[in-house]
Structure 1
Amino acid sequence: MKTQLTLCAFGLAFVTACADSGANYQPILDGVPTAAYKTDLAECQALARNQKQFDQETMGAAVLGAGAGAALGEVDNGDALGGAIAGALAGGVASAVDVNERRKAIVIECLQGRGHRVVG
């Protein structure tokens, strides 16, 4: 049981770290970067990274997944803990993917708002 809890904690920490990867996005530009591009990119990435409500959403999804997984695991085979771990990881991963895309979109829109020709 200790091993399962340790794996769950490690998995949730990993999922939360992955959710931040969208803030590190390096966009594709149409044309040559301007002199201000590197500074603007760093500022836009910091803006995306500082949206802490996304981290809370990921943790909330993991908790909801754990609850649903525990209930299903208990009903299916009497293994509520195993179901909770699987549910927490599934909920956390799904939310982390969404958060990653939202942070990437912040970087793109921020750069476009600063006049950079970002195409992807």
Structure 2
Amino acid sequence: MVYGTEAVIPVEVGEPSRRTEQPLEEEMNDEALREELDLVEEIRTGASLREATLKQKIAARHDVKVIKREFEVGSLVLRQNAKDTQDGNLAANWEGPYRVIDKTENGAYYLEDLRGKKLTRPWNAEKLKQYYS
């Protein structure tokens, strides 16, 4: 018993369906399949348009939350430390300070230490933070 009534298996219900009630007519079935095949391209373009608008909405929502960091040439920054496994948990998370000497178009920064030694590669603003002295 389920909720005060006897459980019934779907086969025992015997509810008629369109597939079991209507006799299969091959010509009508083939015609319906051809019509569906003609609509496939329209369905695909509609789905791709919905997908593109959804991606734009997701990107716009993400971009609102992103905090853009920009550093001026000559400002002091800290660089995120690439941790060594031997240092353990008490290793410093940030290295520096470093001076910004150049900025690229895509948001990367060339740095030098306070003694004037340039770092070999640019660093993304995501891996830098402002140093307040």
TM-score interval w.r.t. the shorter chain? 0.3 to 0.5
User: Whose strand fraction is larger, Structure 1's or Structure 2's?
Assistant: 2
Alignment TM-score, normalising by the size of structure 1: 0.34
Look at both structures and tell me which one has the larger radius of gyration over its CA atoms. 2
User: Whose helix fraction is larger, Structure 1's or Structure 2's?
Assistant: 1
Alignment TM-score, normalising by the size of structure 2: 0.31
